[in-house]
Structure 1
């Protein structure tokens, strides 16, 4: 059976690497249950036929069979069609074939071009972005990775201390040390006084210092061995007092400003996934609003563009810091970087590339951000795109 794969930033990076070669992209909704799913292979076969037609028109001298062979083979893979979720994206190029399965419907479209068609996936990565959840108590740390669809505990790198003993060793305050400020002894996970004892000597101060040193060691190792390699946003799951201490000392730029202020040891995996999914949805909505606000500010600073040809020129020059693209909009045509012009296709046959997708590719490759604006938000321009320039 052909394997489904989840969408990830690694897959996106792979697709961005294909340029100036025949590339095939196929999107379609799929169904989990009979009888609807019995029609999926038929719809898919028609889309593959569209791919073949486009490919033959664009490259009349090219032997298309090797590129199309894995697409054709999928038609008869009954196990594959019986195990789908709500949508698939299928990509092919020379020596490359990948099927991405997602838990939400995708638009039905087949595109042959010099690079993969990416806009539906970019909108998807914003709404189902993968993340890491750092679970932290005073004395322990563990890590999950997942998305809105699933969450799995992952093995910490060997260099990450699992608890205070591993982090501090002989420097850890002994458990039998006497003397406590204000006459109190050890604290619970929430920092509540657990036991009264006469004497003083600052053990509670030492306990708090141990926590801070443990958190510093965790932050440094998590950043180096998990956040930087993955590039994923990180959600901190910890009680409020531990959130405050960790955020004060953390240098992890991937750490989201909002965390889950609960004791992670009391959360099951499914409950944690639900909490994380809600937080990620809010974070995505906030990023969309922030992108719209950034464009509004740029208008006042004369760093905003709304003309497609002007945006394209700025993108090729590496001047676009942020590109906003209307999710449901398509502008058939081509951008010609050599002649600095926009060629709009008015034939209406649906075979031309999407200008907005061309802009996405150009901006992404120059290190700019891309925000796909969903229908529930008002796009600030009527061209389907807007840009904030670096200068």
Structure 2
């Protein structure tokens, strides 16, 4: 999934646009049920379309959906799946976040689910500071890939023990070894800089205290360090390296990033409240985002509501029983529509855990003016 996909899906909106989302599974036996679940949801979408169209009128779009279902390789499922289709677009997205099971038929796609998945993908570098060798990994969440570039993996080929160092009169073996280590870690830092120049991501460091200390002393890129994990990781073998480090690193990264997100949200809300530049009322938010006033929209994960839009498009009324209406008469996911308004006017959307917005709020919009 690329950021450009969000723009494509928004630009291709038309009625009917079908969005199907569901949780999926990586392992057996749970993943065996995923193909059946997909087909059941496609049938549900067909039933909804048949409430408004003759079967011959939806034949093309239904064929697109069935072709998509047949093309899915369920052996490589992640935590969630999103299927979108209309007369011009047909795509399947596998995402590393769990999605709710639902079917939507409206005049736009539910881009919120892709946006949420995108916001939960954390990319970073993992640098293991060891002499035999120092490795660099590129990580997306718990998936690590070793980098074989920029000089990595680095092996310290300088004298490594007191007995092999120059012990002539006046030399200090410990000092000589320390200087060799400084040179070694400067070279590693130079290699890391090349990686950072290509992709500017936070860095997780692993290593024993001494190596961490030397690296911190000489590194020019230490401000990129997200967190440090102490310990001896020299003995990881080629077969289990990525898995071993993922198990060590990903829980710590989640913890640090969760805390950072929480602090960022709290600070942004406090600033908006202090300056009285925010809305929490649904109609106020609807109008402000239509007018391009929305700077940053905070959305509680999982929150949605159906709404009927006024004839002039400037107000909404919450609908408690959307099944009582025809598809075109209401917006089944008004939160998704608000998100689209924000994105179309270069605003930012941030998803937060339930309860983070306080005072039973589900949406919080900071204003440009």
TM-score normalised over the length of structure 1: 0.69
CA distance in 2 between counterparts of 1:303 and 1:249 reads 40
Q: Cα 1:390–1:75, aligned 2, differ >3 Å: closer, same or farther?
A: closer
Q: Does structure 1 residue 111 correspond to structure 2 residue 104? A: yes
Whether 1:221 and 2:194 are equivalent positions in the alignment is yes
Structure 1 residues 355, 155: CA separation in 2 closer, same or farther (over 3 Å shift)?
A: farther
Matched, 1:279 2:273: no
The Cα of 1:366 is off from its aligned counterpart by 4.4
Counterparts of 1:112 and 1:296, CA distance in 2: 38
1:304-344: CA deviations, max 9, x gaps?
32123433454456554432111132121377898543354
Aligned position for 1:388? 366
Superposition RMSD in Å = 4.4
Q: Is the 8 A contact 1:335 1:358 kept in 2?
A: no
The match for 2:170 among 160, 179, 199 is 199
Aligned residue runs from structure 1 range 161-310, under 5 A: 161-162=151-152, 197=167, 198-199=169-170, 207=180, 210-211=183-184, 213-225=186-198, 227-228=199-200, 233-239=202-208, 240-242=212-214, 244-245=216-217, 249-250=220-221, 255=224, 257-267=226-236, 268-294=241-267, 295-310=269-284
Give the secondary-structure state (helix, strand or coil) at the position aligned to 1:290: helix
Whether 1:327 aligns to 2:320 is no
Question: Is 2:41 the counterpart of 1:72?
Answer: no
Q: 1:291 to 1:336 in 2, by over 3 A?
A: farther
- Unpaired runs of 5+ residues, structure 1, are 1-7, 166-173, 176-185
Residue 4 of structure 2 is aligned to residue 26 of structure 1: no
CA 1:214/1:72 → structure 2, altered by over 3 Å: closer, same or farther? same
The 5 A counterparts of 1:31-42 are: 33=28, 40-42=34-36
CA offset digits 1:20-47 (Å, max 9, x no partner): 423432112346555x766654543342
Counterpart CA distance in 1 for 2:227 and 2:292 is 32
User: How big is the shift at 1:116?
Assistant: 2.7
SS at match of 2:43: helix
Q: Secondary structure at the match of 2:322?
A: coil
CA contact (8 A) 1:309 1:335 kept: no
1:45 aligns with 2:16: no
**Which of 374, 377, 385 is the matching residue for 2:353?**
374
| CA spacing shift, 1:299–1:214, aligned 2, 3 Å | same
Residue from 151, 154, 177 that aligns with 2:144 = 151
> Does 1:92 pair with 2:85?
yes
What per-residue deviation string (whole Å, max 9, x for no partner) do you get for residues 191-232 of structure 1? x9996844269857864663564255224311222x15xxx5
C-alpha displacement of 1:65: 3.6
Deviations 1:231-271 (A, max 9, x none): x554334442255247x52287xx45223334553343222
Deviation at 1:92, TM superposition (A): 3.0
CA distance in 1: counterparts of 2:294 and 2:118, whole angstroms: 20
Corresponding residue SS for 1:271: helix
Cα pair distance change 1:346/1:258, threshold 3 Å: same
In structure 1, the residue corresponding to 2:127 is in which secondary structure? strand
Normalising by the residue count of structure 2, what TM-score does the alignment of the two structures yield? 0.72
Partners of 2:206 and 2:231 within 8 A in 1: yes
Gaps of 5+ in 2: none
Q: C-alpha separation between the residues in 2 aligned to 1:42 and 1:320?
A: 41
